[in-house]
Amino acid sequence: MISELGNAMVIFGGTGDLTKRKLVPALYNLLIEKQLPDNFFVVAVGRRDKTTEEFVEEMEIALKEFSRNSYDENIWKNLKSRIFYYRLNFDGTEEYLEFDTALCKLEHKYETRGNRMFYLAVSPEYFGVIVEKLHEYGLASDNGSFKRVVIEKPFGKDLESAKALSKHITHAFGEENIYRIDHYLGKEMLQNIMVIRFANAFFEPIWNNKYIDHVQITSTETLPVEERGGYYEKAGAMKDMLQNHLLQLLALTAMEPPVRLDTESIRDEKVKVLKGLKIYEEDEVNDYVVRGQYGPNEEMGFNGYRQERRTDPDSDIETYIALKMEIENFRWSGVPFYIRTGKRLKEKTVEVVIQFKSLAKILYLKELDEMMPNQLIIRIQPTEGVFLRFNAKKPGQTNDIVPVKMDFCQNCEIGYNSPEAYERLLLDAMKGEKTLFTRWDEVEYSWRFVDAIQNAWKKERPDFPNYEAGSHGPKVADDLIERDGRRWVNE
């Protein structure tokens, strides 16, 4: 059956990690769930010489390792019959014309009506040149069909370069056809944040500075930088995680209710949060932001960052950051948002903690030195769910009070196999649904915030390494929150 979604998915950087770990498994899972149109095919574009057969074989091995659904020969047979490999120099000239001809032939065979989704999974320095060539050689001209471009992060390295890139891409494709992917937005529980907030009578009325003491957003990883040292040396935790994923998570947590649930209304509210972020003055940066880099842990057999492959042995790049952020609006004035992210830590956790203000020290609280405050914890990874901590009477003859938990674990149910972020995002891009992609102004305001910090950092050499691989992170991060009389929640 020919479907409106039918399209050619052209992956630039097709031989890279993302294709085998995420994109091909996502397509495979979509096929299992009968979500992919019949008129669909994939062309992986790379600079290496290789045949389609060789490429497909590599993908089969990867699929067995990375797919959330187990390997099914028939499904794979179906998918592999639609995968092709094409060798191309990204900065070539006439080669793009030949590539167009090859694409047209496949389009004819698969009846995709000329719909094309170009997926840029390449190093950022190639974004501009590829887009330019696609435009120049007519591969991106719409001719009554859709031509979309999906771009992986980082979108620029600062505000200035992001603006230049945006200009380039908009010229070739138009903002309406640009899909800036942030895979965090494809995660089930991130999408659930809006539902939790705006579909429950008991949360929204207290979601403000009158009742909330502070918010913590954590994304910690146990993995080191692995094979991505070259990229990470230019990105660091700030550009790899904060500028995109964590600021999106913050925006969803803090945004005002949108007037409607359509794409632009939601993006309008997210951007207001980013616009409202307090931008630090240069001499304030150290009071609000701390950074860290992991050192070796011999006992656990872990390298330090400086010993990882393709990193500078004298590197100053941060593998950890913690920040105290403020949103300058009526809802959040006076409520700090503590954010932290880092690599090679003790645990893998992504979560948002909303900590409510304590009650007055009367009645039950009068006698107690310390009382566990009420907390709402939205767990995004590795478990998905919501968990509420409140105080209750300890059973027995006394009036002792103990904190208890109410736990809703979404992926603890047997058989529950939550779709991967990329599945949702690829399908949305095919459908032309842009809510879970970032709009240019969101990118712009996040860079404004990040640039102020990076500029201050350039002037001061950090004292690295300052945390041990496999630990909870640097002491400076604990100091940052503890000097406000608060503590990180490490569940």
Closest CA to 263 of 434, 13, 461: 434
Tell me whether residue 221 or residue 442 sits nearer to ligand BG6 (CB atom): 221
Residue of 15, 127, 192, 240 that binds ligand BG6 (CB under 6 A): 240
Give the number of other CB atoms < 10 A from CB of residue 331: 16
CB 381, min distance to ligand BG6, A: 6
- Measured CA distances, 443 to 165, 247, 323 (Å): 12, 10, 19
- Measured CA distances, 327 to 213, 271, 330, 484 (Å): 14, 12, 9, 17
Run of H or E residues at 491: none
Closest CA to 117 of 36, 5, 37: 5
Residues 36-65 touching ligand BG6, rule: CB under 6 A, are none
Active-site residue flag, 171: no
Tell me whether residue 240 or residue 269 sits nearer to ligand BG6 (CB atom): 240
The number of residues that bind ligand BG6 (CB under 6 A) is 4
CB burial of 78-111 (b: ≥16 within 10 Å; e: otherwise) equals: ebbebbbbbebebeeeebbeebeeebeebbeebe
Three-class DSSP category at 84 = strand
CB 350, min distance to ligand BG6, A: 5
Residues 361-400 touching ligand BG6, rule: CB under 6 A, are 381
* Tokens at 376, concatenated: 């709402």
Residue 407, beta-bridge partner list: 387
Residues 293-312 touching ligand BG6, rule: CB under 6 A, are none
Tell me whether residue 240 or residue 428 sits nearer to ligand BG6 (CB atom): 240
Closest CA to 86 of 100, 71, 68: 100
CB 235, min distance to ligand BG6, A: 7
CB 189, min distance to ligand BG6, A: 11
CB 121, min distance to ligand BG6, A: 12
Tell me whether residue 103 or residue 185 sits nearer to ligand BG6 (CB atom): 185
Name the residue with the smallest CB distance to ligand BG6.
240
Run of H or E residues at 402: strand 401-409
Residue 149, beta-bridge partner list: 118, 178
199, 193 contact by CB (below 8 A): no
Binding mask 179-218 for ligand BG6 (x = CB under 6 A): ----------------------------------------
- Beta strands of 51-175 (E only): which ranges? 83-87, 116-120, 147-151
CB 153, min distance to ligand BG6, A: 6
CB burial of 6-43 (b: ≥16 within 10 Å; e: otherwise) equals: bbbbbbbbbbbebbbbbbbbbbbbbbbeebbbebbbbb
CB 420, min distance to ligand BG6, A: 9
Active-site position among 108, 214, 245, 472: 245
Tell me whether residue 121 or residue 273 sits nearer to ligand BG6 (CB atom): 121
350 in contact with ligand BG6 (CB under 6 A): yes
From CA 470, how far away is CA 354, in angstroms rounded?
26
Residue 181, beta-bridge partner list: 437
Tell me whether residue 84 or residue 294 sits nearer to ligand BG6 (CB atom): 294
Tell me whether residue 358 or residue 417 sits nearer to ligand BG6 (CB atom): 417
From CA 126, how far away is CA 128, in angstroms rounded?
6
CB 116, min distance to ligand BG6, A: 25
Tell me whether residue 232 or residue 467 sits nearer to ligand BG6 (CB atom): 232
Tell me whether residue 11 or residue 140 sits nearer to ligand BG6 (CB atom): 11
CB 119, min distance to ligand BG6, A: 15
C-beta contacts of 396-405 below 8 A and 24+ residues apart: 399/364, 401/364, 401/368, 401/371, 403/372
Closest CA to 274 of 444, 123, 112: 444
Contact residues toward ligand BG6 (CB under 6 A) are: 221, 240, 350, 381
Residues recognised as catalytic: 245
